[in-house]
């Protein structure tokens, strides 16, 4: 368990080396002063001027490197009324496609990481403008099944609902059948969860446009990454109607696709946040959204699963960088003095132009629930969020923090966070050698983390082996937690990796 004091001390030494003329000038000036030299004051002033920035530089670097949340990060007022389930993701814009491109849903059949190769020469790299460099954008090979127009629309096409969306173009008449395509795409790090979830929103160019010499050649496929996170359910989506009533449409892909068509056709509706307020749109566009709502009432839609079947074929999480999942390390001094673990939840993420090898540096907003039972509070903090966590963001936005004994600071623990999020399979090995998997049981994992922390026991792996002597004191309570049949209230969904044969039912989040 790293400490802020240790990180601060390391950065203080580093800043001193960078500004070595300052301390050297002070030493030289002090010696000259003791010798009665007239020029001593010049060396002292110059040395002092070069030395003053050292502690400020050290504090700035320590704050950037160490994910500590203090009272200065607490927000008294927020622009967005964050509900318990709200998550706002300000994703980067997608590239432009053909003007007559067709919006469709695409299911990810297979995914594999081709390349993610930051240079790694600097801890942080900042770019100006809106430029996102390729070396910090994972290149992923995807096999997609692009739904045809009939599949995309579903049975509502037979009910004459096309007027709500506007014409898609006469050329789509020949696109009723779906097709598969395999290619490599740059996936923005904030949108990796759409690949893991298995649902993308794509634009399909008209046939022949990608190859003018072959009019029958299929058009180019352009993934709409921000809208894909919406379709995948990573971002929450709400609609406020003209009467001020709010409807949650998260993970209702047919309705969301209709909303996307309207936003693309009308323009000016970014769908970048989590809320579309019809009262702020022009009358014609608001009427089209209202027509979709009326259609939805007549054609009920079941929520899509949190992750589509076949997740093991697109599980790129193990190939992405980040702190590896573990039950976590513990400082005995921290434990003896009353340090505890708490859970928080991300409410908002937005990109910056700074990148680190393990992931992008994001402006985040979290809701933290203190361990002492006091009301939860909202904090805003710029953090480096690892790529492997971003790839499972559709499952959970929970994050684990360890709290200082005096309760004044909270530190993000990415190893425990990743284990709770399911980036690695947690398991317990009983004293008899029996392996008990904890996949899909975050509440049980959370209870075990707290049990180990309260006893000052570190376990820097996702496997808790009770055969080890140092864990014998907690073997009995660990087994009670593992064998408790109470279902997790906030259980992460089982994926096809976690199910046995014949268990392909969707699991609620």
Instruction: Judge residue 435's burial from the number of C-beta atoms within 10 Å of its C-beta, 0-12 exposed, 13-18 middle, 19 or more buried.
Output: exposed
- How many other CB atoms sit within 10 Å of the CB of residue 436? 17
Instruction: Measure the CA–CA gap between 131 and 90, rounded to whole angstroms.
Output: 16
Concatenated DSSP letters of 296-333:
HHHS--PPPPSS-S-GGGG--GGGS-SPPP-SB---HH
What is this structure's pTM? 0.83
How far apart CA 426 and CA 465 sit, in angstroms, is 11
pLDDT at 397: 93
Q: Splitting the chain (509 residues) into consecutive groups of 10 residues, what average pLDDT does each group show? A: 73 82 85 83 85 81 81 76 76 71 93 87 73 85 86 43 40 61 93 96 81 70 90 90 90 92 75 75 91 90 92 95 92 86 93 90 92 88 95 94 89 95 93 91 93 92 93 91 64 37 30
8-state DSSP, 343: E
Q: What pLDDT score does 80 carry?
A: 60
pLDDT for res 332: 83
Q: What is the pLDDT of residue 182?
A: 94
The DSSP secondary structure of 201-230, one letter per residue, reads EEEEPPTTSS-TT-TTSPPPEEE-HHHHHH
Handedness of CA 77, 80, 81, 83 (dihedral sign): negative
Instruction: Provide the pLDDT for residue 127.
Output: 82
Please, what is the Cα angle at 227 between 414 and 419, to 5 degrees? 20
| Long-range pairs for 260-268: beta carbons < 8 A, 24 or more residues apart | 260/103, 260/201, 260/224, 260/227, 260/230, 260/231, 261/103, 261/165, 261/166, 261/168, 262/164, 262/165, 262/166, 262/288, 262/289, 262/292, 264/103, 265/165, 265/166
């Amino acid at each position: 368990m790293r400490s802020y004091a240790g990180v601060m001390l390391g950065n203080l030494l580093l800043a001193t080396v960078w500004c070595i003329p300052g301390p050297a000038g002070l030493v030289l000036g002090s010696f000259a002063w003791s010798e009665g030299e007239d020029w001593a004051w010049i060396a002292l002033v110059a040395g002092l001027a070069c030395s003053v920035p050292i502690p400020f530089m050290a504090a700035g670097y320590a704050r950037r490197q160490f994910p500590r949340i203090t009272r200065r990060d607490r927000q008294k007022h927020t622009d967005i009324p964050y509900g318990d389930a709200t998550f706002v993701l300000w994703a980067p814009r997608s590239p432009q496609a053909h003007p007559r491109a067709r919006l469709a849903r695409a299911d990810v059949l297979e995914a594999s990481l081709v390349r993610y190769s930051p240079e790694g020469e600097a801890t942080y790299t900042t770019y100006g403008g809106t430029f996102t460099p390729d070396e910090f954008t994972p290149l992923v090979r995807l096999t997609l099944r692009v739904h045809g127009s009939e599949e995309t629309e579903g049975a509502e096409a037979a009910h004459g609902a096309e007027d709500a969306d506007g014409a898609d173009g006469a050329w789509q008449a020949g696109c009723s059948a779906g097709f598969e395509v395999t290619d490599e795409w740059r996936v923005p790090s904030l949108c990796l969860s759409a690949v893991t979830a298995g649902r993308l929103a794509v634009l399909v160019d008209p046939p022949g446009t990608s190859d003018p010499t072959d009019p029958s050649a299929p058009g180019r496929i352009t993934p709409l990454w921000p809208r894909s996170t919406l379709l995948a359910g990573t971002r929450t989506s709400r609609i406020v109607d003209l009467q001020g009533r709010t409807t949650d449409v998260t993970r209702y892909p047919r309705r969301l696709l209709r909303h996307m068509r309207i936003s693309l056709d009308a323009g000016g509706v970014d769908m970048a946040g989590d809320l579309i307020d019809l009262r702020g749109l022009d009358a014609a566009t608001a009427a089209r959204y209202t027509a979709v709502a009326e259609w939805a009432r007549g054609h009920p839609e079941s929520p899509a699963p949190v992750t589509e079947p076949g997740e093991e074929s697109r599980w790129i999480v193990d190939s992405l960088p980040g702190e590896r999942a573990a039950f976590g390390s513990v400082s005995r001094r921290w434990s003896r003095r009353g340090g505890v673990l708490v859970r928080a939840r991300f409410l908002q993420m937005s990109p910056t132009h700074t990148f680190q090898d393990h992931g992008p540096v994001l402006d985040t907003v979290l809701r933290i629930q203190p361990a002492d039972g006091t009301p939860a509070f909202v904090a805003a903090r710029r953090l480096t969020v690892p790529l492997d966590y971003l790839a499972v963001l559709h499952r959970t936005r929970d994050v684990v923090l360890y709290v200082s004994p005096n309760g004044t600071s909270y530190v993000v623990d990415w190893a425990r966070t990743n284990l709770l999020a399911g980036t690695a399979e947690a398991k317990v090995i009983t004293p008899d050698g029996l392996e008990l998997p904890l996949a899909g049981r975050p509440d049980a994992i959370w209870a075990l983390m707290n049990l180990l922390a309260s006893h000052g026991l570190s376990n820097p792996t996702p496997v808790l082996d009770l055969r080890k002597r140092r864990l014998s004191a907690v073997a009995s309570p660990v087994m009670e937690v593992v064998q408790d049949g109470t279902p997790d209230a906030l259980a992460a969904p089982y994926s096809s990796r976690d199910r046995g044969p014949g268990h392909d039912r969707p699991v609620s989040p």
